[in-house]
Structure 1
Amino acid sequence: MAKVGVILSGCGVYDGSEIHEAVISLLALNRAGADVVSMAPNMEQTVINHLTGEPAEGASRNVLEESARIVRGEIQDIAKVDTTDLDALFIPGGFGAAKNLCDFAFKGPDCDVHPEVARVIKEVVTAKKPLAAVCIAPALVAKVLGDNKLAPQVTIGTDKDTAEALTSMGATHMSCPVREFVIDEKNKIITSPAYMLAGNISEAAEGIEKTVAALLKMID
């Protein structure tokens, strides 16, 4: 049974993991018989009111605790994860990937990545294990691997400004429709646009499910 790590970034599209993307990914992995190891950084986050889209004044939540909501409490602090136990890695999107796992949402190409998130990504890719990321999460991958001169090929769909930001971080951006995915064979990376382009949950699901299937097929 393949053991796949899933990095979550909170709970909710505006300040954490995009819940549709996370659940679709987890369901696809489970249906394929994979053993999922969910993880998230143990850190505080700012909170967005999902009714208004505005910051929730005075509110603070913990990324690990919020991520636990999605996986019914079955989650680890990413700092304690041993990547030698993993066969592959999957990163759903949502603004948490660009606010909590890194600060791309605020600094763009000059962003910093949470050190434990960077460690897990680098260790998985260095070990030639496959990695998949959807929605805005490929920006995180681009930063980590671009800094290590691996020049990953990734997609966030077709958004010109975001694509240029990824390119400036050392990645090669490939335009991709919502229901498809891009494979970087050299670095064993699979990416798909999901809600960067999706107009509804079924569009996001088709691309994510194909991405999960490609990820598991790439495991040695």
Structure 2
Amino acid sequence: MGKRVAVVLAGCGVFDGSEIHEASAVLVHLSRQQATVKMFAPNTDQMHVVDHLKGSPTEEKRNVLVESARLARGEIEDLGQLNVKELDAIIFPGGFGAAKNLCSWAVNGKDCSVNDQVKAVLQAFHAEKKPIGLCCISPVLAAKVFPGCEVTVGPSKMRDERYPGVPDTAEAISQLGCKHVCKHVDEAHVDEKNKIVTTCAFMCNAPLHEIHDGIGVMVQEVLKLA
């Protein structure tokens, strides 16, 4: 029998919501493993709306749950309805929405706050010893909620145009009392103690198939722990 996995979305679109390719890769790999998926998103306003053609914010207002429904083909529930007892694992795709709508990392860095529902869900899965998968920037959620945990957001803390956002993020994670583990884009890191599995995805400027493969490794490791 396939595992029951929650996938938490943060909108629709890399600059103000969930990264679409990452969300799709998570769903494809879960499907290959015959997992039963339930999708959720918080019923709250986005931090802002970004015109993805111009790359700049607009005056528009959008709702995270409504926008996430685009990715979920309408099959999505309010995150407040999630029941950890009915699920075996949870996965968070990345995208700026994870750092803008699920927490305020994009604005406040390590001093960010995490959405109350997101924090409660993470703590519930952790308390039940059920695995948590995160990719791209979303591992900062674990770093903020679980001091001392181990995550990866990229292969190196050195400055490199191939992963421009990694060094600062890795340093901030370390300042939160967590361990940043360097992993390449097609790898995942498993924190066995906390059952947290992370992969860097689009934190690296890498070919799409390598990002897809790394997310596949993350999904496989999450399901092994479930």
TM superposition score category, shorter chain reference: over 0.9
Please tell me the residue identity of whatever aligns with 1:152.
Answer: C
RMSD over equivalenced CA pairs, Å: 0.8
Alignment partner, residue 91 of structure 2: 90
1:154 partnered with 2:151: yes
Length, aligned pairs only: 214
1:192 partnered with 2:193: no
**1:52 counterpart (51, 54, 63):** 54
Deviation at 1:83, TM superposition (A): 1.0
Higher strand content, 1 or 2: 1
Alignment partner, residue 39 of structure 1: 40
1:19-45 Cα offsets, whole Å, 9 max, x none, are 000001011101111011100000111
Q: Which runs of 4+ in 1 moved over 4 A?
A: none
Alignment partner, residue 183 of structure 1: 190
Distance 1:73 1:200 in 2: 29
Alignment partner, residue 15 of structure 1: 16
Equivalent pair of 1:179/1:206 in contact (CA under 8 Å) = yes
Distance 1:175 1:7 in 2: 25
1:173 partnered with 2:180: yes
Alignment partner, residue 64 of structure 1: 65
Percent same amino acid among aligned pairs? 47
Deviation at 1:182, TM superposition (A): 0.5
Equivalent pair of 1:178/1:198 in contact (CA under 8 Å) = no
Q: What's the TM-score, normalizing by structure 1?
A: 0.95
1:126-153 Cα offsets, whole Å, 9 max, x none, are 110011100000011110112xxxx110
- Listed as ranges, the gaps of 5+ residues in structure 1 are none
1:201 partnered with 2:192: no
Q: What's the TM-score, normalizing by structure 2?
A: 0.93
Deviation at 1:109, TM superposition (A): 0.5
Distance 2:67 2:207 in 1: 24
